[in-house]
Structure 1
């Protein structure tokens, strides 16, 4: 549904990165670690599957 960060943004572990919709429920995906957003691999409206890479975090 929404990408909450941009490439180059600094993030903290637990900070929301994006919001996905699954079975009509919204799920916020948190950062697994502190770092900098290196690359966003998806865009609003994309369909993703379990295990698909969504965002690369460096650091």
Structure 2
């Protein structure tokens, strides 16, 4: 079953840690967001393979925007 990883707040994509095809474990950092000068890691909620990364560094994302998909 695929897990959609979505933004929880308006922020800017600061760093992308994973790429499509990477294996991740629960708790691994997928991307780092920046909001109000704070760096916020986005973590995998389950183990699997990253099948899609929907952001690039510098993107301004809104709450609910798709960041990545893990299957």
Smaller-chain TM-score range?
Answer: over 0.9
Q: Which residue of 2 aligns with 1:42?
A: 55
Aligned-pair RMSD on alpha carbons?
A: 0.5
Figure out how many residues of one structure are paired with residues of the other and give that number.
Answer: 58
TM-score (normalizing by structure 2):
0.79
Q: Which has the higher contact order (CA 8 A, sep 6+)?
A: 2
Q: Name segments (4+ residues, structure 1) moved above 3 Å.
A: none
Gaps of 5+ in 2: 1-13
Unmatched runs of 5 consecutive residues or more in structure 1: none
The TM-score, its normalising length taken from structure 1, stands at 0.95
